[in-house]
Amino acid sequence: METEIKTERYIETIGRRKTAAARVRITPGTKQSITVNDQDVDTYFKTDEQRRVAVDAITKTKLPVKFKITAKISGGGLAGQAEALRHGISRALVEHDAELRKKLKKAGFLKRDPRSKERRKFGLKKARKSPQWSKR
């Protein structure tokens, strides 16, 4: 008879937004904790809005199971990183429990937001801003 070594089962997903990418691992546990780049989520994200966006997927689902969430985020700014984290957590929760898909999809957390900065065109100051026009 084989003896099984019980290891922690985690789910790993990737969330993206603009140029930010978040590699998220969730592990079911007894205590809720979220770590981003080896820092607590409250110290990593400076504003309340960014913190709320980052954990929105968990608060929307109201799961009784607590998760230990670790994320490695790179690229982009803090706002894009918060939304990338939300995207990654949402994907991981759907992998954990397929019943949550309907609720998270309705909230719009499973769709990767495709908007990104438009490239600058030659002859213009920015993507669409033209130089000041002078009559003479």
Model confidence band, residue 30 (pLDDT cutoffs 50, 70, 90): confident
Beginning with the edge strand found earlier in the chain, give each strand of the sheet holding 20-29 in spatial order: 11-17, 20-29, 66-74, 33-36, 39-40
Give the domains, in start order, of the chain with CATH numbers: 11-107 (3.30.230.10)
pLDDT of 8 > 70? The answer is no
Query: For 64-111, what is each residue's pLDDT tens digit?
Result: 888 999 999 999 999 999 999 999 999 999 999 999 999 999 999 999
- Give mean pLDDT, residues 23-44: 93
Residue 109's nearest CA partner among 84, 134, 75, 78 is 84
- Give mean pLDDT, residues 10-37: 93
Is the separation of the CB atoms in 15 and 90 below 8 Å?
yes
* Helices 78-96 and 48-61, axial angle in degrees (round to 10): 10
- DSSP 3-state assignment of 107? helix
For the entire predicted model, the pTM comes to 0.86
pLDDT of 6 > 50? The answer is no
- Give mean pLDDT, residues 56-67: 90
